[in-house]
Amino acid sequence: MTTEPVEPSPGDAPPQPPAPPAPPAPPQPVAASDAIAPEAVAPDAVVTGTPGAFAPDLLAVGPEPAPRAPRRPRPVLLAVCALVLGVLGGGGVGYAVQAQRPPTPLPPLQVALPSYPAATVDPSAFAAEQPQPLAIDGDLRKLLLTAPEGSKPWGENPDKPSWVSAGELAEHTGDSVREFKDLNSRGFRRAVEVDWQKDDVKYRVSLIQYAPEHASEAKSRAALFRTQPFEKGANGGYKVFDEPSYWADSKEPYYYGHAVAQRGTVVMEVEVFGAKPVTSNALEDLAKQQWERLV
């Protein structure tokens, strides 16, 4: 048998007395603004806890909001309503007034009957009153002279009857800008040209046609120079200049001869450039040949 002390077991320990309960917290003072009026509490509300304290759901209930004042009608809405009512009222009054009036009969339809001359129309007189056709129309290249045998081309100029523009015609003159403006402002329509060179003499024959309403411009172009008639009945003539002129690009002198005539809206021009004075017979003969192809 041993005499060593034995450690006490947990079951052998005497029970501990229970801890005294914590004193309750003193109630917090409630502000006057947070106090809930007695009438705000529902009659069937249940009060728990300490006296004077309400349930949390009752604390969330605030004071009842004041009722909203009635909205006044807007001036624009009133004006629109008044306008609509005025239109409807006016239309109704007008319809009632018009319905009481007797119907007005419409005037009968009156159509003038076609009238015919009593006398028979003379066909020749009627044809004379109609617009006259153009004296010359169609392909002008067929009316132009061709280069004679034994001739050669003159630079880059067309050696066969070809169409040319107003700009190409203007380049033949010394003042091309003025000539170009003059052609387009006077009713230029179209033109054809042929050029050739033979025995150091250069020739140019051209036909310039104006619009039908500018036939007077063709007549004035034909009367530009004081010329001698080359053919009886031809509206134009020819002229040979004794003093030499000069080429603009090389300042080389040349002698000039010019023939012009007009038929309808077409102006015929024949120009001769020679290193020696141009003979009038050669120019007159060439102008006659071209004029015969126009008549």
What digits encode the pLDDT tens for the residues 47-60? Answer: 444 444 444 554 45
* Dihedral Cα 18, 19, 21, 25, nearest 10 deg: -170
Q: What is the mean pLDDT of residues 63-75?
A: 67
pLDDT at 44 over 60: no
- Contact of 261 with 221, CB cutoff 8 Å: no
Residue 183: Cβ within 10 Å count: 21
Task: Show the 3-state SS of the chain.
Answer: CCCCCCCCCHHHCCCCCCCCCCCCCCCCCCCCCCCCCHHHCCCCCCCCCCCCCCCHHHHCCCCCCCCCCCCCCCHHHHHHHHHHHHHHHHHHHHHHHHHHCCCCCCCCCCCCCCCCCCCCCCHHHHHHHCCCCCCCCCCHHHHCCCCCCCCECCCCCCCCCEEECHHHHHCCCCCHHHHHHHHHHCCEEEEEEEEEEECCEEEEEEEEEECHHHHHHHHHHHCCCCCECCCCCCCEEEEECCCCEECCCCCCEEEEEEEEEEECCEEEEEEEEECCCCCHHHHHHHHHHHHHHHC
pLDDT at 10 over 80: no
Q: Tell me how far CA of residue 25 lies from CA of 21, 22, 28, 36, in angstroms.
A: 12, 9, 9, 22
How far apart CA 264 and CA 143 sit, in angstroms, is 14
Q: Who contacts 240 (Cβ-Cβ below 8 Å, separation ≥6)?
A: 256, 257, 277, 278, 279, 280, 283
Q: Who contacts 293 (Cβ-Cβ below 8 Å, separation ≥6)?
A: 143, 144, 145
pLDDT at 62 over 70: no
pLDDT at 144: 95
pLDDT at 27: 54
pLDDT at 29 over 60: no
Find how far residue 122's CA is from the centre of its chain. Answer: 50
Which of 51-60, 79-88, 206-215 is predicted least confidently?
51-60
pLDDT at 287 over 50: yes
How far apart CA 294 and CA 143 sit, in angstroms, is 7
Question: How many residues does the structure list for the chain?
Answer: 295
pLDDT at 121: 75
In this predicted model, which residue has the larger pLDDT, 117 or 200?
Answer: 200
Q: What is the mean pLDDT of residues 131-144?
A: 84
In this predicted model, which residue has the larger pLDDT, 131 or 96?
Answer: 96
How far apart CA 86 and CA 28 sit, in angstroms, is 69
pLDDT at 244 over 70: yes
Q: Tell me how far CA of residue 248 lies from CA of 169, 192, 225, 255, in angstroms.
A: 15, 23, 22, 14
pLDDT at 72: 63
Say which residue the tokens 């006044």 belong to.
72
pLDDT at 290: 95
pLDDT averaged over the chain? Answer: 79
Q: What is the mean pLDDT of residues 186-207?
A: 94
pLDDT at 141 over 80: yes
pTM: 0.56
Q: In the structure, what pLDDT confidence band is assigned to residue 63 with cuts at 50, 70 and 90?
A: low
pLDDT at 21: 56
How far apart CA 156 and CA 135 sit, in angstroms, is 32
